[in-house]
């Protein structure tokens, strides 16, 4: 019986409360910008913060092939019984092929893939796998890197260190400093590299720089952990994977975290894969058991729908061709917006060079503005970037580009 005067289920005042000790956290740096944008009532506000592709109308479309594959899948689905911790086997195979291209066949005996909860799930699972093999391993990330890398990979308990990457003067990769640092790392150090469309800088390694990185990785015995979140959105499916393929060809071991969020427009379906290359078929088989155990301990099994849809698109020549064409149009649109923005900025400030915007690949570039100017951009001009200056070029349109360029140009000194 509850004591007199006290409702059943209500705790007594003196009882310690588990969650009373928690203090509210500051907003997530990326999701916080979205929330601020939503609160802004200005009708012509521009969201360059969140990293999703947008078409001319400002929508984030579902590719036609994805939509069609979904209908076919639902019409033909006879069961929703469990699949297993590794997820959809056909998806795992096809997504590894998409990333590795012709190499996938020869590397197949040394590959173990697991379907993950988006690219984030792949990064986290990869870090857990590394920790299972070596709890002292250190993961090296670029300066700067995507804001989520640190919490995702760092939460595994592994130490994180940084290597130089971006040069704010040239707005390109500081390859001399990057390679110097990589060449000093001890054997077994893990190097997190972004395959293409570097987030947040837009500055990618050139093919010869990828070859030099592969030389260093091979010579020093480093472990590459490649994040492939934008295949097809930089130049095309093959060139965007060129660097990672060059590595996979040469190194004994490698991890590849794949996201299907952007290139398949599958964001909320959470589709990704962790592809691990082991030094031998036996090593890959052991990796497979650890992948399954890690998944089982964290969330048991991934959701099926999105991966089944991607497998269908990749496995059906007609749907695949339609998707490749639509993806090509997305990349072309991003690259034409880059030119448009660079030209509009140059028209406002002929004294400045904006060619770096055109050289960058993918959706992101960093605005060369200090935090206070970015706040003015937001508050006075209603143009929202992330607090480090990252803009999503796909958020620009022919209708707002001049306003964005005027506003940014007015804040450059
Ligand atoms: C660099 C990078 N890696 C990985 C991801 C993973 O995305 P998701 O978990 O949505 O598939 C993203 C998404 O923004 C990204 O920018």
Ligand 1 centroid distance, CA of 31 (Å):
14
Who's near 305: CB < 8 A, 6+ residues apart? 70, 73, 269
Q: Cα of 184 to ligand 1 centre, how many Å? A: 29
- Which residue among 30, 53, 118 has the greatest number of ligand 1 atoms within 8 angstroms of its CB, and so is best to mutate? 118
Please give the number of the atom of ligand 1 that sits closest to the Cα of 194.
Answer: 1
The whole-angstrom separation of Cα 17 and Cα 191 is 42
How far apart are the CA of 120 and the centre of ligand 1, in A? Answer: 6
79 CA distance to ligand 1 middle (Å): 30
Nearest to 192 by CA among 222, 168, 215, 221: 222
Using the mean position of ligand 1's atoms as its centre, give its distance from the Cα of residue 392 in Å: 14
pLDDT of residue 11: 60
Q: According to the model, what pLDDT value does residue 9 have?
A: 60
pLDDT score for 35: 86
Which protein residue has the closest C-alpha to ligand 1 atom 12?
A: 229
Token pair recorded at residue 177: 């400093």
Q: With contact defined as beta carbons under 8 Å apart, do 287 and 256 qualify?
A: no
The pLDDT value given to residue 29: 72
Mean pLDDT for each consecutive 10-residue tract of the chain (413 residues)? Answer: 52 78 84 87 93 94 97 95 96 98 97 98 97 97 96 94 97 98 98 98 98 97 98 98 97 98 98 98 98 95 97 98 98 97 96 96 97 94 95 95 96 90
pLDDT of residue 34: 85
pLDDT of residue 275: 98
Q: Looking at ligand 1, which atom is closest to the CA of residue 146?
A: 1
Q: Among all residues, which ones are annotated catalytic?
A: 146, 227, 229, 262
What is the full DSSP assignment across 39-87?
Answer: H---TT-EE--S-----TTS--PPPHHHHHHHHHHHHH--------TT-
User: In DSSP terms, which residues pair with 114 in a beta bridge?
Assistant: 274
Tell me, using a 6 A CB cutoff, whether residue 224 lines ligand 1: no
Residue 1's pLDDT is 42
Mutate to test the pocket of ligand 1, among 116, 120, 299 (most ligand atoms within 8 A of CB): 120
Does the C-beta of 199 come closer than 6 Å to ligand 1? yes
Does ligand 1 come within 6 angstroms of the Cβ of 120? yes
């Amino acid at each position: 019986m509850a004591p007199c005067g006290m409702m059943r289920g209500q705790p007594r005042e003196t009882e310690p409360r588990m969650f009373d000790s928690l203090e509210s956290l500051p907003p997530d740096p990326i999701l916080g910008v979205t929330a601020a944008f939503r609160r802004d009532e200005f009708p012509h506000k521009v969201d360059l913060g969140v990293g999703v592709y947008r078409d001319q109308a400002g929508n984030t479309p579902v590719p036609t092939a994805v939509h069609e594959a979904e209908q076919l899948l639902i019409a033909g689905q006879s069961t929703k019984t469990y699949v297993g911790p590794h997820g959809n086997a056909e998806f795992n195979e096809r997504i590894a092929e998409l990333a590795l291209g012709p190499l996938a066949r020869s590397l197949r005996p040394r590959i173990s893939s697991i379907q993950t909860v988006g690219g984030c799930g792949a990064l986290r699972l990869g870090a857990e796998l590394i920790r299972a093999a070596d709890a002292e391993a250190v993961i090296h990330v670029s300066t700067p890197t995507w804001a989520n890398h640190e919490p995702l990979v760092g939460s595994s308990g592994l130490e994180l260190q940084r290597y130089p990457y971006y040069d704010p003067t040239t707005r390109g990769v500081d390859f001399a400093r990057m390679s110097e640092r990589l060449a000093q790392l001890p054997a077994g150090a893990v190097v997190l590299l972004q395959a293409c469309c570097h987030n947040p800088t837009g500055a990618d390694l050139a093919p010869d720089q990828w070859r030099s990185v592969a030389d260093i990785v091979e010579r020093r015995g480093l472990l590459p952990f490649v994040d492939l979140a934008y295949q097809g959105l930089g130049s095309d499916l093959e060139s965007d994977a060129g660097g990672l393929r060059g590595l996979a060809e040469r190194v004994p071991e490698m991890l590849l975290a794949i996201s299907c969020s952007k290139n398949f427009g599958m964001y909320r379906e959470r589709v990704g894969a962790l592809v691990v290359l082991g030094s031998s078929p036996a090593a890959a088989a052991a990796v497979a058991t650890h992948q399954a155990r890690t998944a089982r301990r964290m969330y048991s099994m991934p959701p099926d729908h999105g991966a089944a849809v991607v497998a269908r698109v990749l496995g059906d020549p007609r749907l695949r061709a339609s998707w490749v064409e639509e993806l090509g149009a997305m990349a072309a649109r991003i690259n034409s917006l880059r030119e448009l923005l660079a030209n509009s900025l140059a028209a406002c400030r002929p004294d400045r060079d904006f060619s770096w915007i055109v050289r960058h690949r993918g959706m992101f570039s960093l605005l060369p503005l200090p935090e206070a100017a970015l706040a003015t951009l937001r508050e006075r001009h209603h143009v929202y970037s992330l607090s480090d200056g990252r803009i999503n070029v796909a958020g620009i349109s022919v209708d707002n580009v001049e306003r964005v360029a005027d506003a940014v140009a007015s804040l450059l000194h």
